[in-house]
Amino acid sequence: MVHPKKGCGRGVTPGGRWIWYSAGMFTDIHCHILPGIDDGSKELAQSLAMARIAVADGITTSFATPHHFNGVYSNPARAVLDHVEQLREELHNEGIELEILPGAENHIVPELPDALAEGSAMTMGNFGQAVLVELPVHTVPVSTEEILDNIRAQGLVPIIAHPERNTYLRQNPSRLREWVEMGCLAQVTAQSCTGLFGPQVRAAAHAMVTGGLIHFVASDAHRDRRRIPEISAGRAEIERWTNAETARLLAEEFPAGLAAGRVPDSLRLANTLPAPRQSWWQRLFRQTA
């Protein structure tokens, strides 16, 4: 576990609580920490253990993002808000300093745009600005662009959850680039960067991060073991792949901005990413051209 540097200033959380923050403190935009409502935390004790791991890693705020519309779990906005309130109370009672914001990992289904419009599907933080969208594991449905367009037509920004873990997008990253160019954002999973899901997923994470297709790194934690709420190790890998400023944007500034109701500016990322590495023959060609 890489511990972030401490000490930077004082800030206020979306819940109105004053906190001391540091440049190395994280906001986790994707975490299955609510107990007993999806395939994430099984019970309250596990959620509390996850929260302690998150705090130890430097995470100060976590969006609780249970699955919704995935054919197995249904977690409409009202239910998410109730569960978030209960977990906040338990964390307060235990003295664990982790802010929980409401969210959802919404599976990409034709009903999603209407559900967002009527308020039955949860936006990130319930701010009505951005929506975490999950694709199937292997495929991209034919109606994907239409659904993303209908979400964007409401003034909402879709955030594609862990595209590096989708088989089709690993082979066809240009499809993700099209979505990003039309205004979508994307989130890489920290443990994809560190290799937990295998070399192919890690290679795709590298290509997408260095290609400017990723705007957030998040834990997508499900448990207090193995798939834990840890961002620091993934952030360190992203810094190694790119540079300190890109890692800071993806792990700190953009997620913290989302928690404060600000959608990231993709141009900042484009101006920060290092230029693509050239092979020896490309360098040779440039010198002789």
- Residues near Fe ion (CB under 5 A) are 105, 220
Residue 61 main-chain phi, psi, to 5 deg: -140, 135
Residue 220 vs 224, nearer CB to Fe ion: 220
State the minimum distance, in angstroms, from the CB of residue 29 to Fe ion. 11
Least Cβ distance, residue 65 to Fe ion (angstroms) = 6
Distance CA 96, CA 44 (A): 13
Least Å from the CB of residue 222 to Fe ion = 7
Residue 234 DSSP label: H
**Closer Cβ to Fe ion, 105 or 252, answer by number:** 105
Nearest to 8 by CA among 17, 19, 268, 51: 19
For residue 220, give Cα distances in angstroms to 44, 145, 165, 239. 18, 24, 12, 19
The nearer residue to Fe ion, 105 or 224, going by C-beta atoms, is 105
Listed in sequence order, the DSSP H helices in 95-136 are 112-118
Q: Please identify, using beta-carbon distances, which residue of 227 and 235 lies nearer to Fe ion.
A: 227
Contact between residue 189 and residue 215 where contact means Cβ atoms under 8 Å apart: no
Phi, then psi, of 205 in degrees rounded to 5: -60, -45
Rounded to a whole number of angstroms, the minimum distance from the CB of residue 134 to Fe ion is 7
The least distance separating Fe ion from the CB of residue 30, rounded to whole angstroms, comes to 6
Q: Which is nearer to Fe ion, 150 or 219 (CB)?
A: 219
What's the sign of the alpha-carbon dihedral 102, 142, 267, 243? Answer: positive
Q: Which is nearer to Fe ion, 105 or 237 (CB)?
A: 105
In the complex, minimum distance from the CB of residue 132 to Fe ion, in angstroms, rounded to a whole number? 8
How many helices (H) and strands (E) in the chain? Answer: 13, 11
